[in-house]
């Protein structure tokens, strides 16, 4: 019986693995998912962030990515830096570090 099992011929060409085809299918599905879901979402977030940064004006209450909450004192449209006041401190920060605009302080814009 054992000699019969060893005597069987092996196929001349190796069989293709079904996992190779499955891997290409899986990679293709991941690419389609990235193109349909993730890419448009990241574009939308980038546009929303640009809107937020464009709406920054004097008197706006903002939150930075490090968690600092302050009021904008100086924000020139062409400059990359913004001066904010938080409690008794004035800080100069980069415009792209602002993550959220909370609103405006009406007394800040009227007093200066």
Considering 72-81, 83-92, 103-112, the range whose residues carry the highest mean pLDDT is 83-92
- The answer to whether the pTM exceeds 0.85 is no
For residues 102 and 47, what is the distance between their CA atoms, to the nearest angstrom? 18
Produce one character per residue of 65-91: b if its CB has 16 or more CB atoms within 10 Å, e if not: eeeeebbbbebeeeeeebbbeeeeeee
- Examine the pLDDT at 7 and tell me if it is beyond 80: no
Q: What's the pLDDT tens digit per position in 12-59?
A: 566 666 677 888 899 999 999 999 999 999 999 999 988 888 888 899
| Closest of 38, 86, 36, 33 to residue 64, by C-alpha | 86
CB 83 within 8 A of CB 72: yes
pLDDT of residue 57: 87
CB 48 within 8 A of CB 87: no
- Examine the pLDDT at 112 and tell me if it is beyond 50: no
Domain boundaries, given as residue ranges, for the chain: 18-54, 56-111
H or E element, residue 104: strand 98-104
Q: Indicate the CATH number for domain 56-111.
A: 2.30.30.100
């Amino acid at each position: 019986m054992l000699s019969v099992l060893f005597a069987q011929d092996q196929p001349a060409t190796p069989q293709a693995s079904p996992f190779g085809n499955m891997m290409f299918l899986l990679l293709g599905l991941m690419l389609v998912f990235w193109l349909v879901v993730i890419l448009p979402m990241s574009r939308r977030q980038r546009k929303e962030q640009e809107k937020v940064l464009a709406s920054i004006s004097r008197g706006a209450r903002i939150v930075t990515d490090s968690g600092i909450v302050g009021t904008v004192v100086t924000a020139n449209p062409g400059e990359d830096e913004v001066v904010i006041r938080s409690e008794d401190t004035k800080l100069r920060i980069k415009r792209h570090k602002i993550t959220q605009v909370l609103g405006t302080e009406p007394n800040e814009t009227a007093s200066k």
